[in-house]
Amino acid sequence: MSVIIEFPPDIEATLRERLARVPQNVAAFVVEAVREKLSRSQTLDEICEPFAQSVAAAGVTDEELDQLFEEGRENVWQAKQSLRP
Protein backbone atom coordinates (compact mmCIF):
# COMPACT_ATOMS: atom_id res chain seq x y z
CA MET A 1 0.00 0.00 0.00
CA SER A 2 1.31 3.43 -0.86
CA VAL A 3 0.42 6.44 1.24
CA ILE A 4 1.32 10.11 0.97
CA ILE A 5 1.70 11.76 4.37
CA GLU A 6 1.95 15.49 4.95
CA PHE A 7 3.63 16.09 8.28
CA PRO A 8 3.21 19.34 10.20
CA PRO A 9 6.46 21.38 10.00
CA ASP A 10 7.47 20.69 13.61
CA ILE A 11 7.10 16.92 13.20
CA GLU A 12 8.91 16.99 9.86
CA ALA A 13 11.83 18.88 11.42
CA THR A 14 12.04 16.44 14.31
CA LEU A 15 11.82 13.49 11.92
CA ARG A 16 14.61 14.87 9.71
CA GLU A 17 16.82 15.45 12.77
CA ARG A 18 16.21 11.91 14.05
CA LEU A 19 16.85 10.29 10.68
CA ALA A 20 20.04 12.31 10.20
CA ARG A 21 21.44 10.51 13.26
CA VAL A 22 20.48 6.97 12.28
CA PRO A 23 20.86 5.14 8.99
CA GLN A 24 17.16 4.79 8.23
CA ASN A 25 14.96 6.30 5.54
CA VAL A 26 11.57 7.90 6.15
CA ALA A 27 9.58 4.98 4.70
CA ALA A 28 11.31 2.42 6.93
CA PHE A 29 10.86 4.66 9.98
CA VAL A 30 7.13 5.14 9.31
CA VAL A 31 6.55 1.44 8.69
CA GLU A 32 8.30 0.62 11.96
CA ALA A 33 6.25 3.24 13.83
CA VAL A 34 2.99 1.87 12.41
CA ARG A 35 4.00 -1.69 13.33
CA GLU A 36 4.68 -0.60 16.91
CA LYS A 37 1.36 1.22 17.14
CA LEU A 38 -0.60 -1.71 15.73
CA SER A 39 1.04 -4.16 18.10
CA ARG A 40 -0.01 -2.06 21.10
CA SER A 41 -3.59 -1.28 20.13
CA GLN A 42 -5.65 -4.34 20.87
CA THR A 43 -9.38 -4.63 21.31
CA LEU A 44 -10.76 -5.72 24.65
CA ASP A 45 -11.74 -9.03 23.06
CA GLU A 46 -8.13 -9.55 21.90
CA ILE A 47 -6.77 -8.73 25.35
CA CYS A 48 -9.25 -11.08 27.06
CA GLU A 49 -8.91 -13.95 24.56
CA PRO A 50 -6.25 -15.92 26.50
CA PHE A 51 -8.37 -15.70 29.64
CA ALA A 52 -11.51 -16.74 27.74
CA GLN A 53 -9.68 -19.73 26.28
CA SER A 54 -8.44 -20.79 29.71
CA VAL A 55 -11.93 -20.52 31.17
CA ALA A 56 -13.38 -22.54 28.29
CA ALA A 57 -10.64 -25.17 28.57
CA ALA A 58 -11.32 -25.50 32.29
CA GLY A 59 -14.98 -26.13 31.57
CA VAL A 60 -16.13 -23.23 33.73
CA THR A 61 -19.67 -22.13 32.89
CA ASP A 62 -20.79 -18.52 32.55
CA GLU A 63 -22.78 -18.90 35.75
CA GLU A 64 -19.76 -20.21 37.65
CA LEU A 65 -17.60 -17.39 36.34
CA ASP A 66 -20.26 -14.83 37.34
CA GLN A 67 -20.37 -16.34 40.81
CA LEU A 68 -16.57 -16.25 41.11
CA PHE A 69 -16.45 -12.55 40.21
CA GLU A 70 -19.40 -11.73 42.49
CA GLU A 71 -17.68 -13.49 45.40
CA GLY A 72 -14.46 -11.63 44.69
CA ARG A 73 -16.29 -8.31 44.54
CA GLU A 74 -18.11 -9.11 47.78
CA ASN A 75 -14.84 -10.08 49.51
CA VAL A 76 -13.24 -6.79 48.52
CA TRP A 77 -16.30 -4.86 49.72
CA GLN A 78 -16.28 -6.71 53.04
CA ALA A 79 -12.56 -6.06 53.49
CA LYS A 80 -13.07 -2.33 52.86
CA GLN A 81 -15.96 -2.26 55.34
CA SER A 82 -13.80 -3.81 58.04
CA LEU A 83 -11.26 -0.99 57.61
CA ARG A 84 -13.83 1.72 58.36
CA PRO A 85 -13.73 3.23 61.87
pLDDT tens digits for range 7-43? 999 999 999 999 999 888 999 999 999 999 888 878 8
The residue type of 8 is P
What is the structure's pLDDT at 42?
Answer: 82
Residue 60 · residue 69 · CB < 8 Å? no
What are the extents of the domains in the chain?
9-40, 44-83
Question: 51-73: string of b/e by CB count within 10 Å (b at 16+)?
Answer: eeeebeeeeeeeeeeeeeeeeee
Whether the pTM exceeds 0.85: the reply is no
Lowest mean pLDDT among 1-10, 40-49, 59-68: 40-49
Of residues 65 and 84, which shows the higher confidence score? 65
What is the structure's pLDDT at 67?
Answer: 95
Give Cα separations from 52 to 21, 22, 72, 85 (angstroms): 45, 43, 18, 40
pLDDT digits (tens, 9 = 90+) for 49-60: 999 999 999 999
